[in-house]
Amino acid sequence: MGRIVSDMVREGKVTREEYLAANWNGYLGRTAEDFKEPFTSDLPEIRELGLELVSIRSVKHYTLQQIFHNVNKDTTDKLKYSERIVAMVYPWLHHAIYRGLSDSRTEDEKEMITDQYFRRIQTYAFEHSDYKPYLVFTEVVMKKNLQ
């Protein structure tokens, strides 16, 4: 999805500054060691809270909805799939894209660019509809030691 904004920069639709403002510093590739780190480090906050790590488990969850099973499907099903993908990411990304655009732009310009971004996501999802989306969840169980 970041590649779409990069493409828009190369095309002159958004500036490099807007590209940077539309991004946030997030790390989505946490490992089990990353989740363990607060409990194995010398952070006084963890000790003060009395928290102890019990277990960590990562699960790869494929979506179960039939709309995501599109291999060898017709155009109508692929269109529904691409619309669903946009509906899933829109609440997460709209504010980042919209607020990243320059204050010198009009509200109409911001809406037009934001809409274009999501149309590009939909086009990408339509063209790659043989991909079955999944989510990775990490369950971290901890207990509080009562003292």
Q: How far apart are the first and last CA of the chain?
A: 47
Q: How far is CA 84 from CA 6, 13, 47, 112, in A?
A: 23, 25, 44, 20
pLDDT of residue 77: 80
Q: Compute CA distances 65 → 62, 115, 132, 134, whole Å.
A: 9, 26, 10, 11
Instruction: Please give the structure tokens belonging to residue 117.
Output: 């971004």
pLDDT recorded at residue 95:
92
Total domain count, the chain = 1
Tokens of 34: 């990353």
Mean pLDDT, residues 13-28: 85
Q: Which helix (H) or strand (E) holds 6?
A: helix 2-10
The alpha helices in 11-145, defined as continuous H runs, are 16-21, 32-40, 44-49, 75-100, 107-127
**Structure tokens belonging to residue 46:** 């963890």
Rg value, the chain, Cα = 20
Whole-number Å distance between alpha carbons of 27 and 66: 30
Structural domain of residue 106, as residue ranges?
2-144
Beta-carbon contacts of residue 44 (< 8 Å; ≥ 6 apart): none
Q: What is the value of pTM for the model shown?
A: 0.66
Beta bridge partners of 137: 59
pLDDT in tens, 130-144: 766 677 788 999 998
C-beta separation of 42 from 55 below 8 A: no
The pLDDT tens digits for 65-101 are 555 555 556 788 888 888 988 998 899 899 999 999 9
pLDDT of the residue at 145: 85
